[in-house]
Amino acid sequence: MSILIIQILNSLFYASVLFLIAAGLSLIFGVMRIVNMAHGTFYAVGAFATAWLVGRAIAAGVPAGWTFLLIPLGAAAVALLGIIVEPLLLRPFYRRAEEYQLLVTFGLLLILEDVIRFLWGGLPLSADPIMDALPIIRVGGIVYPAYNLVVIGVGIAAALLLWIVIYRTKFGVLLRATSQDRRMASALGLNVGLVYVSAFAIGCFMAGLGGAIIVPTQAAVLGMGIDALILAFVVVVIGGLGSLQGALVGALIVSFVRTAGIQFFPEIELAVLYLIAALVLLVKPTGLFGSA
């Protein structure tokens, strides 16, 4: 029973991180109709920025417990990067064919990978003090890090907050109106450019937050963004690209299947995920909650 509880907690922990990445990817596509190939690299930037900030804070003598406050700062840095990138690089391609958008975001992925290498080098960075500052709890007869429970709480809070913003605020109405009919929204006087840059910044913040909360448990390494992007695409393929509910359900499915796969059949763990995605596409090409 203790092992089962640990497996469930691990699945929820991983689902929280996956949801943050996939929700940002779905939000950007839902509003702007751009499949952002660089989204995983924004996740990596959030991880590296947070690890670097924590390292500087510890070197300056800041108590380890206070370094937890640097997590949203690392995510905010990624949102600021998104605010710069959207009008300068992406906006000229909105009226172009989808192939151009894929190429420019893929080029951005390569550029950001080199920027990460230039700023932080090729060595892994970690933010262990954040995790070490929280106690270890006991689940039955097995110890479990309290930080993982904090990450689960962050994932739940982010899902609720994002749902409230999209469906219960005036800004959410503007987002949904722009996503449904950009020309009509512009004709009614909405500042579509501001809505787009806001949506892209929020999506980047979500990806950066995913990287920021994962780096205390594992080191930030080059290439981590590619792995995250692949899993995020599996999530949105299963749940439906552009659907917040789909991102949540898809993240839960992928995380529970992957956790069980690592435990029982590690050799084919990724193959099972792709098989599930393929079956969903065969039955419902738009995903479980997506629309045509």
Q: Would you say residue 51 lies in a domain?
A: yes
Q: pTM value?
A: 0.93
Which residue blocks in the chain are alpha helix, DSSP H?
2-32, 39-59, 70-85, 98-120, 128-132, 146-168, 170-180, 182-187, 192-214, 224-239, 244-264, 269-283
Cα within 13 Å of Cα(107), Cβ side: 9
Contact assessment for residue 18 and residue 231, using Cβ atoms and an 8 Å cutoff = yes
Q: Would you say residue 271 lies in a domain?
A: yes
Give the pLDDT confidence of 186-239 residue by residue, as tens digits.
888 889 999 999 999 999 999 999 999 999 999 999 999 998 999 999 999 999
Q: Is the dihedral of CA 150, 155, 158, 163 positive or negative?
A: negative
Q: Would you say residue 96 lies in a domain?
A: yes
Give the pLDDT confidence of 140-173 residue by residue, as tens digits.
678 888 999 999 999 999 999 999 999 999 999 9
Q: Tell me the pLDDT band of 17, cut-offs 50, 70 and 90.
A: very high
The CATH code of the domain that includes 38 is 1.10.3470
Place of tokens 């937050």: 209
Assigned token pair, 121: 């080098």
Q: Would you say residue 289 lies in a domain?
A: no
| The Cα angle at residue 112 between residues 93 and 41, in degrees rounded to 5 | 90
Q: Cα torsion at 247, 252, 257, 258 (round to 10°)? A: 80
Q: Would you say residue 37 lies in a domain?
A: yes
Contact assessment for residue 205 and residue 82, using Cβ atoms and an 8 Å cutoff = yes
- The domain total for the chain is 1
**pLDDT for residue 71:** 93
Contact assessment for residue 75 and residue 209, using Cβ atoms and an 8 Å cutoff = yes
Q: Would you say residue 290 lies in a domain?
A: no
Q: Which residue type occupies 181?
A: D
**pLDDT for residue 269:** 74
Q: Is the dihedral of CA 94, 97, 99, 104 positive or negative?
A: negative
User: What is the C-alpha separation between 274 and 243, in angstroms, rounded?
Assistant: 20
Quote the domain boundaries for residue 220. Answer: 2-283
Give the pLDDT confidence of 224-262 residue by residue, as tens digits.
999 899 999 999 999 988 888 999 999 999 999 888 887
Q: Cα torsion at 25, 27, 33, 35 (round to 10°)? A: 0
Q: Would you say residue 291 lies in a domain?
A: no
Q: Would you say residue 292 lies in a domain?
A: no
The pLDDT mean for the chain works out to 90
Backbone angles phi, psi at 63, to 5 degrees: -60, 145
